[in-house]
């Protein structure tokens, strides 16, 4: 009987959810890095490819794993021009948002979030040069941008401190002349720092 009690206690300590208690605690903070493809899937031969990179800081609030997120993002796009040319357009934006915890499995390996955010930044067209190489003049100009985004994100915890992320995001941008909606999908890594 004593052996059975020891084995039962050992099983409870191994499978009883110790790892669950170390994830998404109130006040816990994380830093994430994300890379995304925007408005479609592209290959190296695409002339109008769009990609983005972002760094985010998050703080979990309350016992329900909701979180505040703050970050910055660099979005690079190319607009086709002529037969073989393209014009670069870059966006630098800061973002603040709130993610609602929608679902997590019992072992806390998988977490699903949905959220909204506000963003503001700067967009530059052809890095501020209005004269193109063939002598044509650009009518699109650099601009301060603002808007918001809705997103859905899935976290897959590899350990209590490291999670892989997958996200879908729709950005709504105003103040520019190169497009107002940008859909992105991407992957990232998230490190818990406390």
DSSP the chain: -HHHHHHHHHHHHHHSSTTGGGSS-TT-EEEEEEEEEESS---TT-SS-EEEEEEEEEEEETTTTEEEEEEEEEEEEEEEETTTEEEEEEEEEEEEEEEEEEEE-TTSSEEEEEEEEEEEEEEEEGGG--B-TTS-B-----EEEEEEEEEEEEEEESSSSEEEEEEEEEEEEES-SS-SEEEEEEEEEEEE--
Predicted confidence (pLDDT) per residue in 92-102, tens digit: 999 999 999 99
Question: Which CATH code fits 24-192?
Answer: 2.40.160.20
So what's the pLDDT on residue 6? 66
Predicted confidence (pLDDT) per residue in 30-60, tens digit: 999 999 988 877 666 666 678 899 999 999 9
So what's the pLDDT on residue 20? 45
Average pLDDT over residues 168-175: 93
Predicted confidence (pLDDT) per residue in 115-163, tens digit: 999 999 999 988 877 777 776 777 777 889 999 999 999 999 998 899 9
Domain chopping of the chain, boundaries: 24-192
């Amino acid at each position: 009987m004593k052996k059975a009690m020891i084995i039962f206690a050992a099983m409870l300590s191994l499978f009883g959810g110790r790892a669950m208690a170390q994830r998404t605690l109130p006040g816990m903070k994380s830093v994430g890095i994300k890379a995304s493809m925007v408005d479609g899937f592209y290959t190296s031969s695409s002339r109008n490819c769009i990609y983005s990179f972002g760094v985010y800081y998050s703080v979990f609030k309350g016992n329900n794993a909701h979180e505040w997120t703050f970050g910055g993002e660099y979005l690079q796009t190319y607009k086709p021009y002529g037969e073989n040319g393209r014009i670069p357009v870059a966006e630098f934006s800061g973002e603040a948002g709130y993610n609602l915890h929608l679902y997590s499995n019992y072992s806390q390996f998988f977490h699903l979030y949905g959220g909204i955010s506000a963003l503001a930044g700067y967009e530059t067209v052809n890095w501020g040069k209005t004269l193109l190489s063939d002598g044509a003049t650009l009518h699109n100009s650099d601009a301060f941008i603002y808007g918001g985004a809705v997103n859905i994100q899935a976290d897959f915890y590899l350990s209590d401190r490291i999670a892989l992320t997958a996200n879908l995001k729709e950005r709504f941008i105003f103040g520019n002349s190169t497009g107002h909606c940008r859909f992105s999908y991407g992957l990232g890594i998230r490190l818990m720092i406390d």
